[in-house]
Amino acid sequence: MNSGMPGLTAYAGLFEVAKAKKGESVFVSAAAGAVGQIVGQLAKLTGCYVVGSAGSDQKVNLLKTKFGFDDAFNYKKELDLNAALKRLRSTNQRQSFCFQFLLYAHDEDESIIYMKLLGSS
């Protein structure tokens, strides 16, 4: 199987950066995209509990039915991302967060919000 650049990006992000391991929880933003769906599937094959976010109910359904995500939510309908992620954070296991950043579109305030979600600020 050759999944090209999205596959390489997904693999490196999940295993080299996030260092996800069996039994851990993984949250994937932009989960219905080319990289996100591969991250989710690799995490599932590894034995992780996987939660994804997508921008439509149709994509959320796709994540759960076709790509095997354990849970997913429509980020456009969630008023509070932190509350939505409580499904993931309610466990005592280690959690990995795989965010897709469009750095050219972020201002400082938005970056700080993401860092707080990740526990870095």
DSSP the chain: ---HHHHHHHHIIIIIIS---TT-EEEETTTTSHHHHHHHHHHHHHT-EEEEEESSHHHHHHHHHTS--SEEEETTT-S-HHHHTHHHHTSSS-EEEE----GGG--HHHHHHHHHHHT--
pLDDT at 1 over 90: no
Instruction: Report the predicted TM-score, pTM, of the whole model to 2 decimal places.
Output: 0.75
Provide the pLDDT for residue 67: 95
**Both structure tokens of 7:** 């596959």
Q: How confident is the model at residue 121 (pLDDT cuts 50, 70, 90)?
A: very low
Confirm or reject CATH 3.40.50.720 for domain 4-118, answering yes or no.
yes
What is the pLDDT averaged over residues 11-32?
A: 88
| pLDDT at position 68 | 94
Per-residue pLDDT, 101: 47
pLDDT digits (tens, 9 = 90+) for 82-120: 777 776 664 556 666 655 544 444 444 444 444 455 444
- Residue 63: is it exposed, middle or buried by C-beta count within 10 angstroms (0-12/13-18/19+)? buried
pLDDT, tens digit, 9 for 90 and up, residues 28-72: 888 999 999 999 999 999 999 898 999 999 999 999 999 999 999
